[in-house]
Structure 1
Amino acid sequence: MKHLKTQVAIIGAGPSGLLLGQLLAKQGIDNIILERVTGDYVLGRIRAGILEQGFVDLVREAGVAQRMDTEGHVHDGFEIAVNGESTRIDLKQLTQGKTVVCYGQTEITRDLMEAREQADLQILYETSEVKLNEVKSDKPFITFEYQGETYRLDCDYIAGCDGFHGVSRKTIPEDKRTEHERVYPFGWLGLLSDTPPVSDELIYCKSERGFALASMRSETRSRYYLQVPLSDSTDDWSDDKFWDELKKRLPAEAAERLVTGPSIEKSIAPLRSFVCEPLQYGRLFLVGDAGHIVPPTGAKGLNLAASDVSTLYKILTRVYRDGDTDCIDQYSAIALRRIWHGERFSWWMSNMLHDYGSTAVSDMEAETFDRFMDSELDYYLHHEEGQKVIANQYVGMPYEELR
């Protein structure tokens, strides 16, 4: 068995693991990242890219913001269209100057990977049989297989950034964690194309035919989504069928200027709300999708992962700078407060904008539910105080400081 040693072991080389590693390295805190797949596979994951100010600030603090600041698009607002009638949510005005940045998660990941390589920071791809050991002790360690050999990695702390299906959350005994979950009765069919976006800002659409979202990755690359039944597959949707349906759900003026083209990628993502409590077990911390999932409607998934990173980064900096190990117990409570805000907002946006049809949403009849949602939309779209609620949640709740 080969032996390695580090201060912080990070499981997962997605954006949260890479960002945490970069921030810790800036503070002189040694870290090693273990990833089960190849770097190319990680970069092949197509994900959203609406970044809250807190995320943008973290990337800048990590020293990896050059391309984001050059190529990212600052969005001052977005549209919500209900049956063709559009309302613009002016983020900048409603939040006293706050905005979001549109910059693809793939690009953030690429920037962080390149920065880690340039800094000669260690990352091991295609690891397998990863097992976290003695995480309740002050000397946790990880065993894993890498390039045909067995390794042991000794560390002080473990950051589980390995996603919903990773090993980190499963390391916490079932009787020590509570999992809250809601699975939605529909999915999002996403199409990526090298076509100019239909709008400079996102358009969220509620129509009698179902939900749609017009998004972008750059001035020449677009990402569009359609609400579809969970029984559908991408084989059911040719490019032409997708574009035809999207036009029917977009506002008329947007549909007229829509530029179509061949799809680069097409996939269907189920929607779920999920939270694990607590997010900490001994010296193991769950970060991002390892501990929580949100429906993509409110653009919160990556941003909640970033706030987890921010909290854990502050804690570990205090541990190694000041010798304050008592502060580690703050992680779960601080992270969960912001997570539940994001979960509620994403659930609420999903309820307002999707068509549930005859599917029971709760104990109430679908028709009654629809009337409630119509009332919600009327208030939040046509009254400034309602718009402020949407805007402040969309740009992100403030990061909470340590005690």
Structure 2
Amino acid sequence: MKPFFLSTAILALTLAACETGTAVDEVDAKPQAEAQVAFTNATAMQGYDNLGLVKGAPKPLPEARGTLIANPQAVFADAIGYAADTNSYSLLVWWKGNLVLETYFDPYDQNVRPEPASMHKSLLGLVTAKAIADGFIESPDTPIGTFIDAWKDDPRGEITVRQLLTMSSGLAPLSYEGGEEAPARKFMAGTLNARATLLNMQLEEGAEPHFHYINTVSQLLMLTLEEAIGQPYAEYLSEQIWQPIGAEDAYVYYFEEDGFPRGYASFLATAKDWLRLGLLVKDNGAFGGEQIIDASVVKALKAPSELNPDYGWQIWRGETYEENRFYNDEKAGFSVYASAPYLADDLVYFDGFGGQRVITSETEDLVIVRLGDTRTDWDDAKLPNLVIGALHTLDAE
């Protein structure tokens, strides 16, 4: 299997910058709004060679209701300008039952399926929620040793599905020491046996339960999920979510020749299909009037976790304002800058490193999708606030 087309340095930055001790050596650790590092994610379909199909069943978005915005390019001019300035490929806005803005930036169109980085984690959380609703996982508090035979009689098997979902597993991250030969870098590049590497992870000695966002924890959730459902992730996702929401074909990136998709990144889908997932989250598991995932489970996915009120089940929440949002309780490593509090306090969003976003709000009846170049100067508040501000002005007229 050929590794990622990205260089190892860029790969580490894209897919692991949020883990403690990663990528700070490649990006100045000053506030990220001042940094100027960007690179393209648009060529993933051409650069990845071990892709697995997530079969779609395309159908139109839910029928529009309410009034469309007469001149969206003018209404959202500032948001479009920010998207253009940050080398975006697409910007979509769904509001009050309508796709009110669908913009693609040259040379990209509606068919681009870029690398979304950690946005895949939130989809993985949704698929896990579906497996819980379907009874494959009795509850989020089920120990993962129930499904992973190698850990059946191991203290690590006592970790619960919920602890994986909320990034509070107590497992130590892979080491970044050793440069190009570091286990974490080799794992991301696909040059280690992925399953064996996960099963060799160790608990942090003497650590109290804490929030620590780690790619390998999401990958362990993928392993647990596939064992629980008894079929490949791509098949279950296609049958239970992807086709019911009318999405086009999408692709996962396989770690191994026999499958095992990367669960913390590399779900290649169009912007409009990411929008469909945003609608599924916003509407608590319903899509186009059909309940795809039990509403109570999706509400649990969106609820604050015990150790981090701004994190749910592999998905982020925007209730608490932090100028610099870190990915661990130690406030070490990379952080995401936000210039202001969000204009809606119920934002739930998919976060892909460097500005890949699906942003949802029930109170605003809103979904925003932005795909584009990775930007370390990304301002997490600017795009949603520009969109919400424009909509509030429109409502007031």
Select the structure that is richer in helix.
1
Structure possessing the higher relative contact order (Cα contacts under 8 Å, 6 or more residues apart):
2
TM-score bracket, shorter-length normalisation = under 0.3
Select the structure that is richer in strand.
1
Which of the two has higher C-alpha Rg?
1
